[in-house]
Amino acid sequence: MSDSGGVRRPTPSEVTAFDAAWTRNVGSELPYAYWLRATCHERWVRLHSLPESKQYPDTEAEYDVVLTRYLAELDDLRAGADDLWVVTSSYSSTARPVRRSADLVGLLPRPRLWRTFTEDDEGEEYRIWTHHYLSIVRRDADEVRRLLRFVADEVVSGVMITDADATWVHHPYDGGADLILPTTGERDRTAALFSDWLPAPGFPGASLGDAVLDCDGANRGA
């Protein structure tokens, strides 16, 4: 498969094809992970990682629950495909791409740069550039579990997992995951399949009718 066990660096042509697929299937908006619930709200479902919408695991047993839920969600989304396309990021005050965190470099070495972008309405003084990188990771690779544990511990954020055609997106965050499905019908099916993991009343996503249009809010905010 790979450059390192279950991890492979995509080729430039693969990244070009992925970029076109993302625009076609996810949209032309800036690909901030935390915007997905707003830009794709009609296909969005949110699932929480622990019972009663508890945000952080305290024991290894709770970590097992978190990872079991993340992986079950991914297994349903990937529909048997072996490879996951993983988006990780770095941030800087200029458009020049910078290295990701040491944790990400150690876990997913040699990714391919996908996109560099910033919000146009931000003044230069406050502008932060986001640099998205792509890695191809086998579902059964240990790197998948380690990455999801990093997410649960807030070691990394802004992770997105999808397939080569970007037909679905899984954005895990500390406490849950935002899932973007291909259609509203698939959204409804996924919500029914994982109904016990839907957010508790009062949290965003508790109802599929929620239309969360505030792109600036934190993931867990009401």
The rounded distance, in Å, linking the Cα atoms of 151 and 169 is 16
Which has the closest alpha carbon to 109: 214, 220, 6, 25? 6
Average pLDDT of the segment spanning 95-118: 97
The predicted pLDDT at position 202 comes to: 81
Single-letter amino acid code for the residue at 119 = E
Kindly report the backbone phi and psi dihedral angles of residue 204, in degrees, each rounded to the nearest multiple of 5, phi listed first. -55, 135
**b (16+ CB within 10 A) / e for 188-214:** eebbeebeebbbeeebbbbebebebee
Question: Counting beta carbons within 10 angstroms of the beta carbon of residue 140, is it exposed (0 to 12), middle (13 to 18) or buried (19 or more)?
Answer: exposed
Range with the poorest average pLDDT among 110-114, 193-197, 207-211: 207-211
Cα angle for residues 74, 47, 142 (degrees, 5° grid):
35
| pLDDT band at 116; cut points 50, 70, 90 | very high
Statement: residue 21 has pLDDT above 90: yes
The rounded distance, in Å, linking the Cα atoms of 187 and 182 is 8
180-208 pLDDT, tens digit per residue, is 999 999 999 999 999 999 998 887 877 76
Structure token pair of residue 7: 């991890």
The predicted pLDDT at position 213 comes to: 44
End-to-end CA distance of the chain: 42
Phi-psi region of 33 (alpha: psi -120 to 50; beta: other; left: phi over 0): alpha
Statement: residue 215 has pLDDT above 80: no
Average pLDDT of the segment spanning 11-40: 97
Average pLDDT of the segment spanning 10-35: 97
Statement: residue 174 has pLDDT above 80: yes
Cα angle for residues 182, 214, 43 (degrees, 5° grid):
10
